[in-house]
Amino acid sequence: MNRCEVCGKAADIHHIVHKSEGGLDFPLNYKYLCGEHHRGKHGPHRDNSIDIEYKLEFQYKLQQVLYKKYYGFDELIDMLELNKSKAKRILKGLKLYKEGYYTEDIIYKLMGSKKYEEYMMHEYKDFIPIFYSV
């Protein structure tokens, strides 16, 4: 049983980069949160500063895990614990250099084709995102 990373109660998976934002199902994109810390008043779905905070943590974690400048297909599968179809989805549209795929491009794609900065936590404090399913 997974435990909430905030309070320790029983938890569900929260996708840091939401599927509606281009996020994928893979372990680094998960944060385990109880119902209160997931969809409650102080959860990432209702408090944009918490959502941005989690995304910044994820982006930093990706930068630590993907420390080389370039990666090959098989390396990414191992480093990110992906299956081949998810790896292909990530790499689709990215330029393949002779050294491999450029790490900054990979991280950008994993972050839903967006780069997050510290100032965003404060700039969007009162903004509540609305996600539509297609």
Q: Which helix (H) or strand (E) holds 109?
A: helix 103-110
104: pLDDT strictly greater than 80: yes
Q: How far apart are CA 35 and CA 9, in angstroms?
A: 9
pLDDT tens by residue, 24-71: 999 999 999 999 999 999 899 999 899 999 999 999 999 999 999 999
* DSSP code at position 23: -
* DSSP code at position 46: T
Q: What percentage of the chain exceeds 90 in pLDDT?
A: 79
pLDDT band at 133 (very low <50, low <70, confident <90, very high): low
Q: How far apart are CA 7 and CA 15, in angstroms?
A: 18
This prediction's pTM? 0.85
